[in-house]
Amino acid sequence: MQITVNGDPHETGPNTTLAAFLTQLNLSAERIAVEINLTVIHREDYHSTLLHPGDQIEIISFIGGGEHAD
């Protein structure tokens, strides 16, 4: 089935969970936030959230670094 991730088309199999899809992308759930069809998905729901054809997924990666402002 086809879904869109950050504006790019992706193919995944039927009955794919969000957690499984993130594993396919080699992404660690601890350092990202995910939105499906404008709804933020809580990390504890990644394993129970099934993807559907046409889903619009946005993945935001958290990147550490920078200076601490005093």
Report yes or no on 66 lying in a domain: no
Whether the CB-CB separation of 51 and 3 falls below 8 Å is answered with yes
The pLDDT score that the predictor gives to residue 69 is: 57
Neighbours of 67 (CB within 10 A): 5
Domain CATH code at residue 25? 3.10.20.30
Strands in 1-70 per DSSP E: 2-5, 8-11, 32-36, 39-41, 56-61
Report yes or no on 55 lying in a domain: yes
Domain count, the chain: 1
The pLDDT score that the predictor gives to residue 29 is: 85
Strands 2-5 and 32-36: unpaired
Q: Which domain range does residue 22 map to?
A: 2-61
> What does pTM read for this prediction?
0.86
What's the pLDDT band for 57 if we cut at 50, 70, 90? very high
Report yes or no on 67 lying in a domain: no
State the chain's mean pLDDT as an integer.
92
pLDDT tens digits, 34-56: 999 999 999 999 999 999 999 99
